[in-house]
């Protein structure tokens, strides 16, 4: 197990730690972090997702058992997060939905991809890409719809549809995914020069994003609401992967897809959890602190899940 920690998990978190240390020491300013994060979130990672989905064997990748296992677990954790925040911590409904979103949105790209690749190799990422292809549309679609229903009680259905659509399709990750599907389904082949340019961007995507994530985390410190924050961490790091483990085992998922599903579910809440909370101005401290604390704790919980998966 110690070898797993050293060879698979630590390199990923050392890159995050390097970004954190460089920013904390003042060698990397917050403006630099914001620029690097913007580059990765709006350009490099959308290109990575576009390229992966454009070349994905859709018939072999989108196993309904994998998607049912992962997204049933995700929706259940969203509901658990909302009800826990509402009943246990007496937050209002809008705060509760933002907290539920933290339990819903795993860091499937910045943590899930590199950890799965280091653990099982690049050929094991088929399941990851299938999950990621639907991840932002599903999570934002669910979270935004529920929040807008609560916020816009009494408004027309058309206004609700417009607000949900605007929020989703202004997201660069979703646009990259949609364009990747368009190229894949059309059978269009990218010119070699374009393919080579994409390859250059893609090589920079994950290491730059991990370094930037470390810089972002400098801004946030766990403070206040600690019971709520630990509640989010427990659901995100333990309950969601346990759901996928149980459902995937029951549905007899193939081993590679089973590993991808459980590991992706075991990732800490993604930075999008804070983006969602910030978008609505709700539970921002809980969201930011949950991303920070869960990312740190996931060093140990991911080690646990990798050991169980074998």
From 12-16, 92-96, 268-272, 277-281, the region with the lowest mean pLDDT: 277-281
Q: How many domains, in total, are found in the chain?
A: 1
Helix axes 126-151, 93-104, angle to 10 degrees: 180
Give the number of other CB atoms < 10 A from CB of residue 281: 9
pLDDT for 226 beyond 70: yes
- 157: pLDDT confidence band, cut at 50, 70 and 90? low
- What local confidence, expressed as pLDDT, does residue 231 receive? 97
Domain containing residue 129:
2-309
* Residue 154 belongs to domain with CATH number: 1.20.1530.20
pLDDT for 262 beyond 60: yes
pLDDT for 213 beyond 70: yes
- 14: pLDDT confidence band, cut at 50, 70 and 90? confident
* Mean predicted confidence (pLDDT) in 143-170: 73
Show the tokens assigned to 302.
């991911």
Give pLDDT tens digits for 66-90: 999 999 999 999 999 999 999 999 9
- What local confidence, expressed as pLDDT, does residue 95 receive? 95
pLDDT for 135 beyond 60: yes
From 21-25, 64-68, 166-170, the region with the lowest mean pLDDT: 166-170
CA distances to 127, 149, 249, 260, 262 from 306, in Å: 16, 39, 16, 11, 9
Of the candidates 49, 131, 144, 128, which has an alpha carbon nearest to the alpha carbon of residue 94? 144
Give pLDDT tens digits for 103-127: 999 999 878 988 898 889 888 888 9
**Percent of the chain whose pLDDT exceeds 90:** 41
- What local confidence, expressed as pLDDT, does residue 98 receive? 96
CA-to-CA distance for 126 and 136, rounded, in angstroms?
Answer: 17
pLDDT for 2 beyond 60: no
- What local confidence, expressed as pLDDT, does residue 244 receive? 97
- What local confidence, expressed as pLDDT, does residue 21 receive? 94
- 285: pLDDT confidence band, cut at 50, 70 and 90? confident
pLDDT for 168 beyond 70: no
CA-to-CA distance for 17 and 261, rounded, in angstroms?
Answer: 26
Burial of residue 262 (CB within 10 Å: 0-12, 13-18, 19+) is buried
- What local confidence, expressed as pLDDT, does residue 265 receive? 97
Burial of residue 149 (CB within 10 Å: 0-12, 13-18, 19+) is middle
Indicate the average pLDDT of the chain: 86
């Amino acid at each position: 197990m110690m070898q797993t920690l050293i060879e698979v998990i630590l390199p990923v978190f050392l890159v995050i730690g390097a970004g954190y240390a460089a920013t904390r020491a003042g060698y990397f300013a917050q403006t630099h972090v914001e620029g690097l994060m913007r580059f990765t979130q709006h350009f490099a990672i959308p290109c990575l997702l576009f390229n992966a989905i454009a070349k994905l064997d859709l018939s072999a990748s989108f196993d309904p058992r994998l998607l049912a296992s992962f997204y049933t677990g995700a929706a259940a954790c969203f509901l658990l997060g909302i009800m826990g925040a509402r009943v246990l911590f007496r937050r209002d409904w809008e705060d509760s939905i933002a907290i539920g979103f933290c339990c819903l949105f795993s860091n499937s790209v910045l943590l899930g991809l590199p950890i799965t690749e280091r653990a099982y190799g690049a050929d094991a990422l088929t399941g990851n890409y299938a999950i990621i292809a639907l991840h932002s549309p599903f999570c934002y679609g669910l979270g935004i719809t529920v929040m807008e229903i609560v916020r816009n009680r009494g408004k027309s259905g058309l206004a609700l549809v417009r607000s949900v659509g605007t929020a989703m399709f202004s997201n660069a990750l979703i646009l990259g995914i949609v364009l990747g599907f368009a190229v894949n389904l059309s059978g269009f082949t990218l010119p070699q020069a374009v393919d080579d340019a994409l390859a250059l961007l893609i090589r920079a995507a994950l290491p730059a994003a991990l370094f930037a994530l470390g810089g972002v985390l400098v801004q946030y410190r766990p403070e206040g609401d600690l019971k709520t924050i630990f509640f989010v961490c427990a659901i995100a790091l333990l309950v969601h992967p346990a759901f996928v483990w149980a459902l995937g085992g029951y549905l007899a998922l193939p081993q590679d897809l089973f590993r991808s599903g459980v590991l992706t579910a075991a990732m800490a809440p993604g930075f999008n959890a804070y983006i969602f909370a910030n978008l609505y101005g709700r539970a921002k401290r809980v969201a930011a602190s949950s991303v920070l604390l869960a990312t740190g704790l996931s060093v140990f919980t991911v080690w646990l899940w990798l050991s169980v998966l074998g």
